Structure 1
């Protein structure tokens, strides 16, 4: 029913070509230090590429592959030490019977201990110089004190306390014995010797989820990688979004100039560390269509079915040169499978209809496409459990979900209009305009009489009207369907596409944006580094919170967050204005007239908001709103004159 959204070695996108290229590069440069970057947005398939690289080396006993997920070690005191210790532990597990490996591993780990001591020494040095306890010293001395007290009152003596202080002095002396350059040079030599004793021809470290880490953790991990760039036979394959890593660099080194020459310092830092970058491309229409077909068949038939295996093999051949030929067409499928099974037939038909908009709306992101398919299958399963699955057509549901995901104003209008009879007049008008073409044509009403031609002037002023017309042209038409069961089964849309429960790592940000104005302001930098898809998800979550508020006389929780999202991501200004305009005028409090100036910075959006403000000032159903809007317009007029 649901396709797991985890990294997988089942290659539906022919990413194996990228993985094989990485493997070949690592093997060709086997005696040299190497760093390879696998770049792409969240959900692009970077983790799957790493898994394929690991599988390719699995049978080679003289190659050690180590998986390191920086996100899992978030919060550790020293990410650099954790990474090195992970590599050494894997080497010892690779050669458990070797005494030479165990002995050399101890030497390397002693160097790691020195790094930890050096880090703490800085904290102790600050304490000794200023007399102000550093958090590190408070933590360590507190641990020592608790252990001493726990041993019994008789042990708490001046001598024992003096011993703790002397231990701190010894700690500082031990760190000062060797300089950092000497330690780093010795570490590289001893680690190279460890690889030699372990009879490892190539160490391949696969670093994942680095772009999910806090800036400090990300930089510490990158610094550990830099330490290995002079160690022969060590290769790092780093999966990360370039933009997120550059943000981490800027946060960690805030005093650096923005740029030097044609590139920023953050970009130069990243390019210095990553010698060979691979960028995972977004899916185009052909790839999206094939991906949707494979997901649907996988969902229905299972990974081990002959139908899916043969279809996946055929898709891989097509994806070698997706620009050539008809793609995954009926003739090719008949040749490969002997016929076109019913489940493949349905999948091809549906994929052909929704792939164009899905490819554009999801921006070619495989995770977003998979999420769409999973949501659709889950809703059909719920309808089956409720007993009305036979009333739903998958193609109709998919089309409605496209509007739900990419044009919420259109979906809301369709849902409201079909509440009583199951038919939406606005939707019927939209489909009539599209069917009539550019010249318009007469249509017949329900009683058979000729009616005036449908024109665009008869349509609602949707901000995404051109998209809506493209969507309406997709088969099947919806006006002839009872939309109530579809609206019912998609009424959970906020919990699927926008609610906090579905946002995973963005939960914390959504919570901040529902907080005080100060919390929202402090989250501005975090908002700015969101990818467009993530920004849409957070925006949808906040909009759902506001929409569900019963009392609109007071400012709902999340409004300040919506405004900040639009400030940082201007493409959200139009959806925000549409949402504000859609709020029930009779229930609104005076709060709604102010606070949008910087949120609606785009000239056309600001002009449309001014028109909305005038409408509020002219209406008589809500006196407090009328007074507030009138006052806001006068204040704006004074500012313009001054």
Structure 2
């Protein structure tokens, strides 16, 4: 039904070319430390590229590829130490039977313990001054402290404390500021030796989601790479949005000047850490058209289908030189598949229509495009479950959703204009003008008119379609369908419509003047009050008001019938079977209400309602005969 919105090795955008370039660069520079940046907005495909790089290296025995996501650890651990511990763990896993690797890993991890100690210099100052270890300090003093940590306060004697301090004294003395450079140099040497002992020709660390991390976590991770791990035979591929990393630098170093020379300090910092930047390009029209086609075919056929696999290969060839054509060629598809299946034809047609606006509106971001398609497919699935899928044309829905997503004020105007009959006169006039067949001298006064003209020129025209089911299925963005607490000036009208029949009649003129969206708001408020009534054996206040609104705004007749049908049958009084003739006058609504009367007449849970419904049916029959 939908396409998963996460990183994937299924390459629909020919990002394999970028991944292969990264792999080639890393392989050529295997004897030198290297940092590569894969930059792009959120959803641009950075994580998918890292996955492709990882897959390429997966079968090389003397290459270790480590995936690290700092976002998973922020707030729980120090990013520097977690990154290093993750790499050491993967190295030991690569050579599980090597004693040399195990011993060298212990040395490296001891340096990691030192880094943890330096983070709590304040706590160690207390320790050195008093001779009493801080509780957090004890946890990080190595094996000498582990038995100590397990004891309760009553079990800890002065002799035990003295023994712990004596046993860890040498370790604590290493935590001096003056000793930090030597510690870092020693760590780098021991880490390089660990790579040698593990018989690893090349360590490739893939750092993902760094731009999602808090500033301190992002900077910690980058500094761990540069200060501790930047050794020969180690490469780092860092996926991040440049703008977010520059923001992290500014937050982490707030006292730095804004700029020096032609670049900001934040930019200089980033360029110092990342030697080779790759910037993912936004999708253009042709790429968007191909991408939408593949997403729709993937949704219809599945990833393993022959149709999808063949079309993906064709798309990859086209994406090598996207400037040469607008998208997937129908003749090529026919030759490739021995014909053009209906689903593929529909996908290609829809992609061609919506790609221009979708590419521009989503700014060429693959995730935004995918979410648009997923939302569309989800709404079609909901419509199918509700039983009106056959009333929706997918191309009409896509066009309505373009307005909803990229010009909400235009969408609202279209929804209001088509609320009563499903047809909008202003929309018809707009489409007539853009098709060079104007039936009036000027364009309608629609918001965002230039965008509206471009949108209206997309096939199919909407003027002849009943737009009510499309507005209904896209209604999740409109607050009028949510809970209503106060309607401002409309609250007074709601009160009148809850009054006596005479008060309701006097309010009819106000109801007539309501705009469609206001009528919906008042209708929803009254419906909620009727639903909350404790006694449904008598007609609740507000029912006459609901009938008046539906009479004046016919698009609410169907919702009113649905509301009546949903009321608990066992609690209803006879009032529910009378007074609806003028309201439920449209043929289909009238027919559905007649079916409901028959259901009430056939049930045995509410005898009073059963008798009233039976009498109503007889009366309707007599009127039909006369």
Q: Structure 2 length as normaliser, TM-score?
A: 0.73
Q: Which residue matches 1:246?
A: 246
Matching of residues 456-495 of structure 1 within 5 Å: 456=443, 458-460=444-446, 462=447, 464-493=448-477
Q: Per-residue deviation at 1:547?
A: 8.5
Asked if the contact 2:300/2:343 (under 8 Å) is kept, the reply is: yes
Matching of residues 238-387 of structure 1 within 5 Å: 238-325=238-325, 327-387=327-387
Q: Structure 2: how far apart are the matches of 1:190 and 1:362?
A: 48
Structure 1 488/193 Cα, relative in aligned 2: closer, same or farther at 3 Å? same
Query: Whose Rg is larger?
Result: 2
Q: Structure 2: how far apart are the matches of 1:187 and 1:270?
A: 24
Q: Which residue matches 1:406?
A: 406
Asked if the contact 2:117/2:140 (under 8 Å) is kept, the reply is: no
Q: Could you report, residue by residue, the CA deviation over 1:94-139 in whole angstroms, capped at 9, with x for unpaired residues?
A: 111111111111111111111111221245438989x9x9xx9675
* SS of match in other structure, 1:66: strand
Matching of residues 570-609 of structure 1 within 5 Å: none
Q: Structure 2: how far apart are the matches of 1:374 and 1:11?
A: 18
Asked if the contact 1:429/1:454 (under 8 Å) is kept, the reply is: no
Q: Could you report, residue by residue, the CA deviation over 1:247-275 in whole angstroms, capped at 9, with x for unpaired residues?
A: 00000000111111000000000001111
Q: Which residue matches 1:431?
A: 431
Structure 1 49/186 Cα, relative in aligned 2: closer, same or farther at 3 Å? same
Q: Which residue matches 2:585?
A: none
Give RMSD over aligned pairs. Answer: 3.2
Q: Structure 1: how far apart are the matches of 2:404 and 2:476?
A: 11
Q: Could you report, residue by residue, the CA deviation over 1:322-358 in whole angstroms, capped at 9, with x for unpaired residues?
A: 1114531112212222221111100011001100000
* SS of match in other structure, 2:475: coil
Residues 414-423 or 158-167, more deviating? 158-167
Matching of residues 143-222 of structure 1 within 5 Å: 151=151, 154-155=154-155, 172-176=172-176, 179-222=179-222
* SS of match in other structure, 2:204: strand
Q: Structure 1 length as normaliser, TM-score?
A: 0.71
Tell me whether 1:95 sits opposite 2:30 in the alignment. no
Q: Structure 2: how far apart are the matches of 1:200 and 1:252?
A: 35
Q: Structure 2: how far apart are the matches of 1:549 and 1:202?
A: 62
Q: Which residue matches 1:528?
A: none
Which consecutive unaligned segments of at least 5 residues does structure 1 have? 444-452, 495-543, 555-581, 588-642
Structure 1 318/310 Cα, relative in aligned 2: closer, same or farther at 3 Å? same
* SS of match in other structure, 2:207: strand
Asked if the contact 1:37/1:239 (under 8 Å) is kept, the reply is: yes
Asked if the contact 2:139/2:149 (under 8 Å) is kept, the reply is: no
Which consecutive unaligned segments of at least 5 residues does structure 2 have? 490-515, 522-626
Q: Which residue matches 1:550?
A: 485
Q: Could you report, residue by residue, the CA deviation over 1:54-92 in whole angstroms, capped at 9, with x for unpaired residues?
A: 111111101000000010111133110100010010000
Structure 1 313/7 Cα, relative in aligned 2: closer, same or farther at 3 Å? same
Q: Which residue matches 2:506?
A: none
Structure 1 42/433 Cα, relative in aligned 2: closer, same or farther at 3 Å? same
Structure 1 214/137 Cα, relative in aligned 2: closer, same or farther at 3 Å? farther
Q: Which residue matches 2:498?
A: none
Asked if the contact 1:228/1:234 (under 8 Å) is kept, the reply is: no
Q: Structure 1: how far apart are the matches of 2:394 and 2:413?
A: 21
Q: Structure 2: how far apart are the matches of 1:65 and 1:394?
A: 44
Provide the aligned length of Structure 1 versus Structure 2: 491
Residues 327-336 or 232-241, more deviating? 327-336
Q: Per-residue deviation at 1:216?
A: 0.4
* SS of match in other structure, 2:323: coil
Structure 1 108/140 Cα, relative in aligned 2: closer, same or farther at 3 Å? closer
Tell me whether 1:236 sits opposite 2:275 in the alignment. no
Q: Could you report, residue by residue, the CA deviation over 1:354-379 in whole angstroms, capped at 9, with x for unpaired residues?
A: 00000000000000000000000011
* SS of match in other structure, 1:244: helix
Q: Could you report, residue by residue, the CA deviation over 1:546-577 in whole angstroms, capped at 9, with x for unpaired residues?
A: 986632659xxxxxxxxxxxxxxxxxxxxxxx
Q: Could you report, residue by residue, the CA deviation over 1:155-176 in whole angstroms, capped at 9, with x for unpaired residues?
A: 3656667778888977642423
Asked if the contact 2:123/2:137 (under 8 Å) is kept, the reply is: no
Q: Structure 2: how far apart are the matches of 1:265 and 1:21?
A: 29
Q: Could you report, residue by residue, the CA deviation over 1:472-494 in whole angstroms, capped at 9, with x for unpaired residues?
A: 11111111011111111111236
Q: Structure 2: how far apart are the matches of 1:142 and 1:228?
A: 23
Q: Which residue matches 1:86?
A: 86
Q: Per-residue deviation at 1:291?
A: 0.2
Q: Structure 1: how far apart are the matches of 2:95 and 2:480?
A: 55
Q: Which residue matches 2:56?
A: 56
Q: Which residue matches 1:455?
A: 442
Q: Could you report, residue by residue, the CA deviation over 1:434-469 in whole angstroms, capped at 9, with x for unpaired residues?
A: 2237xxx3x3xxxxxxxxx2412x323x1x211111
